[in-house]
Chains A and B, each alone.
Chain A
Amino acid sequence: MSRIPDPIDAGIKRGWRTIDASTLEQDRTLEADVVIVGSGAGGAISAEILVKSGLSVIVVEEGPLKSSRDFNMREADAYPQLYQESAARKTADKAINILQGRAVGGSTTVNWTSSFRTPEATLAWWRRHHGLAFASGDELAPWFAMAERRTGVVDWLVSPNQNNDILRRGATKLGISSASIRRNVQGCWNLGYCGMGCPTNAKQSMLVTSIPAALDHGATLVTRARAERLQLRGQKAEELVCSALDAGGVLPSGRQLRLRARHFVVAGGAINTPALLLRSKAPDPSGQLGKRSFLHPTLISAAFFEKRVEGWAGAPQSVYSDHFLAQAPIDGPMGYMLETPPVHPLLAATMMSGFGEQHAAAMRDLAHLGGMLALLRDGFHDESPGGVVRLRGDGSGELDYALNDYLWDGARRALLSMAEIQFAAGARTVQPAHEKGQRYRSWGEARREIAALPQRAHVTRVVSAHAMGGCAMDGDERRGVVDPAGRYRGLANVSVHDGSLFPTSLGANPQLTIYAITARLASGLAASLTGRPAAALA
């Protein structure tokens, strides 16, 4: 038995209204003022604000309700239980692996706690090119402050683990700026298993903050229910039809839920949100639904050190460098953010290229491996239109994201930057995650060889943990699926409150931007539905 108090268990004992749809023996119809699809960053913040403002709320989530006592820090259990498609979601051509949460709390339950306010350059771009007047640091400051209080964002004063210190050390040696990442944690044990669900409830994810607050105020939470479609009549959504899933969480059980409401907030995350609207055959006056979906396509570089790195232990992301975001104009050659990933066996083994003895030899050095990530900032250049969400034959959503020469140019520079920093930090060998990459023994060799590597789908390993866009918010109705108040254009009672709103990528980890922007949108929605000012987050 765990000694750690479990806030979910305690809440259920207090009488929270939760329905695990996999246990339903018959179809159900429920009704509320507002139905929210998704319990992640956007859905949970919206739920807390709406319910505290006096509205009745149902939150529906495809994943399960899991909590600290379930989080056993094993990849074999965490990925199938807590991630979309068992953490193996891929773009249509399978060239990009996408990590997205699928559990109560959404991606916030499994993210690595990095908390950035939206970069000023990104906000300025949104003001200038997407008609979003609110997009400025000053205008959003109170919303960021509210979200930071809600999610316990703090300066992380603990020394970085070795894996992060490599980035700090190497960058410093080369005169490249780096800084500490702020984290949404309280009393963090510095274990390193954020990605498998926080076993100590230190991470102030939606699972332990806004979701419990909303449930304490009377919200209803429906889990293991897949939002199939909004039933539309004219310009209005009448109900949300959901399929209950079986206990395994993959296949429909055959039971259905019909959720009726005055207003619907779609917050299933990028890819799922546009897919739900496509399945619902929602009007698409701008023709942009599903388009401009962004990923921060991410390159990986592995370095091997004489000393042990033990990248599985300690806060997984605590150091970053945005140096390479500022080397050219935002709409010039692709910029990138440097960060680090946790190094756990399953994740490392699947990211590591090759097989057989070569792969096994690299895995034997796992304790000495330092990993580095470069997140490409997509969506600011004509050659970076992002991907398109489409429906498969069975109605499920899929992102088609083409990798082009503009992006490969950024990928090549990113792999070079990472190798240079890793050697500057004392790496003995560096190997880019690339099928033709080798373990290079010096920066000179790496520079020559990486520059010559062919960059192409599947051969260059590309991953993403930040799906964004697909329901772009834009002041111009010809360009944006959603208006600046978060209202879906063409449907009078549907809003979108999640990362799919972003008209470009961010150039930083998205959770805090989603919290702040959806807090602002949910407050506006609450005021318009109740005729009174909205309640604040805790």
Chain B
Amino acid sequence: MAYTRDMGNTRGNTRNASRSTSRRTFLAVGGLAALALGAGGAWYRATHRQLPHGFALDGEARAALHAIAPAILDGALPHDPDRRKRQLGDAIDAVEAAIRGLPQATQEEVQDLFGLLALRPARRLLTGVPTGWESADMAHVSAFLQDWRVHRFGMMRSAYGALHDLVLGAWYAQPASWDAIGYPGPPRGLT
């Protein structure tokens, strides 16, 4: 569910061989990308308070999730604007709750991912989304997700995988999503 810590890791002092290999590979992409990757997580963690008892996103990081989730859930979200807004909000809350259920090391990795996405140069470079997340166009978001999905770098694919699993997992965990897929829910009257 999480993504590789190569992005923006400034914390680990035990880094295994495969990690350093993929990090080196990525550094070869170019200075700007490397700068963004190195700075993203560290910046986010330096400027946001550490929450020992609860992962939480704010500001541009939260806006990133609000822009990405509807692209991943396109086709599953209800058309009615009120229901859509309510269910999307519930799903995003569920994503954050799911992250809080992960081990601390993984929570930090996810925090790093969103920290990176919140950083303007990194967003432009890695996602190609030209505007801030709040005004991001769904077509742009979908395009970057498609790109990451089969990217030549494993770390980008695993970041896509984290977003995929977090958002879709949170959505289909909710009974409100079950009618549309014909799932009746667990047998009733037992518990």
Contacts and interface: CB of A to CB of B under 8 A. Distances in A.
B154 A458 contact: yes
B98 interface: yes
Interface string B81-100: 00000000000001000101
Contacts of A354: 149
Contacts of B2: 88, 90, 94
Contacts of A349: 168-169, 171-172
Contacts of A97: 1, 165
A417 B1 CA distance: 28
A356 B142 contact: yes
A308 to B, nearest CB: 8
Interface residues of B, number: 58
B158 A93 contact: yes
A364 B13 contact: no
For chain A, which range describes its interface: under 10, 10 to 19, 20 to 34, or 35 or more residues? Answer: 35 or more
Contacts of B76: 359-360, 363
Given A73-B186, A346-B172, A250 B103 contact: yes
Interface string B147-191: 001100010011011101101110111100110111100110011
Nearest to A200: B190
Given A76-B173, A393-B13, A93 B18 contact: yes
A307 B19 CA distance: 47
In the A-B complex, the 8 residue pairs with the smallest Cβ-Cβ separation, listed nearest first, are A360-B75, A73-B186, A88-B1, A357-B75, A458-B157, A76-B173, A94-B158, A345-B172
A467 to B, nearest CB: 16
Given A75-B173, A94-B2, A88 B72 contact: no
Interface string A334-359: 00000000001110111010111111
Interface string A80-104: 1000011010101111010000000
A344 B171 CA distance: 13
A349 B73 CA distance: 11
Contact of B183 (A2, A80, A199, A345): A345
A88 B105 contact: no
A395 to B, nearest CB: 9
B11 interface: yes
A441 interface: no
Contacts of A358: 75
Contact of A356 (B74, B150, B178, B183): B74
Contact of B164 (A350, A360, A459): A350
A435 to B, nearest CB: 5
A92 B19 contact: yes
Nearest to B17: A400
Nearest to A369: B181
Interface string A111-130: 00000000000000000000
A509 B189 CA distance: 32
Interface of B: 1-4, 11-14, 16, 18-19, 22, 52-53, 71-76, 94, 98, 100-106, 142, 145, 149-150, 154, 157-158, 160-162, 164-165, 167-169, 171-174, 177-178, 180-183, 186-187, 190-191
Given A250-B101, A458-B161, A356 B71 contact: yes
A363 B173 contact: no
Nearest to B180: A364
A5 interface: no
A2 B191 contact: yes
Contacts of B102: 85-86, 88, 250
A71 interface: yes
Contacts of B150: 435-436, 459
A491 interface: no
Given A350-B168, A400-B18, A457-B157, 10 more contacts: A85-B102, A86-B1, A93-B4, A248-B101, A250-B101, A345-B181, A349-B171, A366-B181, A392-B105, A393-B105
Interface in A42-94: 69, 71-76, 80, 85-86, 88, 90, 92-94
Contact of A364 (B19, B145, B158, B182): B182
Contacts of A355: 71-74, 142, 145, 149, 164, 167-168
A532 B175 CA distance: 56
Given A345-B181, A356-B71, A394 B172 contact: no
Interface string A426-449: 000000000110000000000000
Contacts of B52: 251
Contact of B191 (A71, A88, A356): A71
Contacts of B103: 85, 250, 396
A4 B191 CA distance: 9
Contact of B182 (A346, A367, A435): A367
20 contacts: A2-B191, A69-B191, A80-B98, A85-B1, A86-B101, A88-B102, A92-B18, A93-B22, A97-B165, A191-B187, A248-B100, A352-B168, A355-B149, A355-B164, A356-B73, A360-B76, A361-B75, A366-B182, A396-B105, A457-B154
